[in-house]
Amino acid sequence: MAEELQKLAREKTRPVFVGSVQVGGGAPVVVQSMTSVPMLRLDEGPVLDIEGNLAQIGRLASVGCELVRVAIPNRASIEAFGEVAKLSPIPVIADIHFDHQIAIGAAKHGAAALRINPGNIGSADRVDAVIDAAGEAGIPIRIGVNAGSLEDALAVRDDLTQPQKLALSAAHFVEHFESRGFKDIVISAKSHDVRTTVQAYRQLSRELPDIPLHIGVTEAGGVRQGTIKSAAGLGMLLAEGIGDTMRVSLTADPVEEIDVAYGILAAVDVRRVRPEIISCPTCSRCQVDLMPIAEEVTSRLSTLDKPLKVAVMGCVVNGPGEARDADVGVACGLDSGMLFAHGEQVRKTSADSIVDDLFDLIDTL
325 with 203, same domain: the answer is: no
232 with 301, same domain: the answer is: no
CA distance 151 to 16: 26
User: Among residues 345, 351, 347, 346, which one has the least CA distance to residue 332?
Assistant: 351
Please answer whether residues 68 and 93 qualify as being in contact, where contact means their C-beta atoms are separated by less than 8 angstroms.
yes
pLDDT in tens, the chain (365 residues): 445 545 556 788 999 999 999 999 999 999 999 999 999 988 888 999 999 999 999 999 999 999 999 999 999 999 999 999 999 999 999 999 999 999 999 999 999 999 999 888 988 999 999 999 999 999 999 999 988 778 778 888 989 999 999 999 999 999 999 999 999 999 999 999 999 999 999 999 999 999 999 999 999 999 999 999 999 999 999 999 999 999 999 999 999 999 999 999 999 999 999 999 999 998 888 889 999 999 999 999 988 888 999 999 998 888 899 999 999 999 999 989 999 999 999 999 998 999 999 999 999 88
298 with 224, same domain: the answer is: no
280 with 260, same domain: the answer is: no
Please answer whether residues 116 and 105 qualify as being in contact, where contact means their C-beta atoms are separated by less than 8 angstroms.
no
Provide the pLDDT for residue 305: 86
Please answer whether residues 167 and 203 qualify as being in contact, where contact means their C-beta atoms are separated by less than 8 angstroms.
yes
Edge-to-edge strand list for the sheet holding 245-246: 185-190, 141-146, 113-116, 92-96, 67-71, 30-34, 245-246, 214-215
Please answer whether residues 34 and 68 qualify as being in contact, where contact means their C-beta atoms are separated by less than 8 angstroms.
yes
CA distance 198 to 213: 12
Provide the pLDDT for residue 1: 41
Domain end marker among 267, 292, 319: 267
Q: Please report, for the domain that includes residue 339, its CATH number.
A: 3.30.413.10
- pTM of the predicted protein model: 0.91
The count of domains in the chain is: 2
User: Among residues 133, 243, 259, 256, which one has the least CA distance to residue 184?
Assistant: 133
55 with 141, same domain: the answer is: yes
Provide the pLDDT for residue 2: 46
Provide the pLDDT for residue 146: 87
319 with 247, same domain: the answer is: no
Classify 350 as helix, strand or coil.
strand
296 with 200, same domain: the answer is: no
Q: Please report, for the domain that includes residue 235, its CATH number.
A: 3.20.20.20
| Amino acid residing at 192 | H
168 with 86, same domain: the answer is: yes
CA distance 334 to 351: 8
The DSSP bridge partners found for residue 339 are: 330, 347
Domain of residue 24 covers 2-267
38 with 162, same domain: the answer is: yes
Domain end marker among 238, 267, 296: 267
20 with 114, same domain: the answer is: yes
